[in-house]
Amino acid sequence: MIKKLSNIGDCGVVCDFGDEVNQKINAGVIQLFHYIKEEVSKGKIEGILNYTPSYNKLIINFDLKKIKSSQIIDFIKSVNFSELNFSKNKKEWIIPICYDLELDLEKISKTLKIDKNEIINIHLNTTFFIYMVGFIPGHPFMGDLGSKLFLERLKTPRVKLPPGSVGIVEKFCNIYPYESPGGWNIIGRTPTKLFDKKNETQPCLLSPGDTVKFKSISKKEFENLYNE
């Protein structure tokens, strides 16, 4: 499963699962991520500080005072992948979305020559898999959209997007957790808070490896939920 194990700087190790971006490769990454997270929380290995999954890699950062790359690499090599259970940590989420709060649907409809309602239907009928969460807190990178909806990034990114904006690019879908700049095509907005700073035990709603399905709501419902 792991194609290459190497150090990245003197306090990181990269587990490289190969070049492709697909759910099968990513499932391996997520499996190892959950395993390491659990071993760390059980105190089975000391010194690991962070474990960051992405499409095809898991990066492990550690405290060089306590452990070094070669020990982390030995630890990873000792993992028996056939004993790992991917689905036990997986959560399935239903996230409300208001398509009336889109910014780009008309334009997308023209570019792709697909009716607005059909775009919405394809989006609603897709079960999204969360490849990774990051860049900024709570921000999920999800896939896969059918090739019918493949789009490029905006040529000029918007300076300011409202929090909860849902965007698509290529086969990916994301949600902007905060008001932020962004170059994705915005098809709607969710009132769901993806990162809650008041929730000390579980501040981040979505986790890598979870799945998301969207549920269409009206503007009125959006406002009620948003102000809750």
Contacts with other proteins by CB under 8 A lie at 6-12, 14, 19, 21, 33, 37, 40, 49-59, 61, 64-65, 68-69, 132-139, 141, 178, 195, 197, 200, 203-204, 207-208
Between 7 and 109, CB nearer to other proteins: 7
- How far does CA 154 lie from the centroid of its chain? 20
Between 17 and 222, CB nearer to other proteins: 17
Between 57 and 123, CB nearer to other proteins: 57
Minimum distance, C-beta of residue 65 to other proteins, in the bound complex (Å): 6
Minimum distance, C-beta of residue 8 to other proteins, in the bound complex (Å): 5
Minimum distance, C-beta of residue 218 to other proteins, in the bound complex (Å): 30
On the CB side of 124, how many CA atoms lie within 13 Å of its CA? Answer: 14
Between 113 and 197, CB nearer to other proteins: 197
Between 25 and 105, CB nearer to other proteins: 25
Minimum distance, C-beta of residue 74 to other proteins, in the bound complex (Å): 15
Minimum distance, C-beta of residue 31 to other proteins, in the bound complex (Å): 13
Tokens of 11: 């306090």
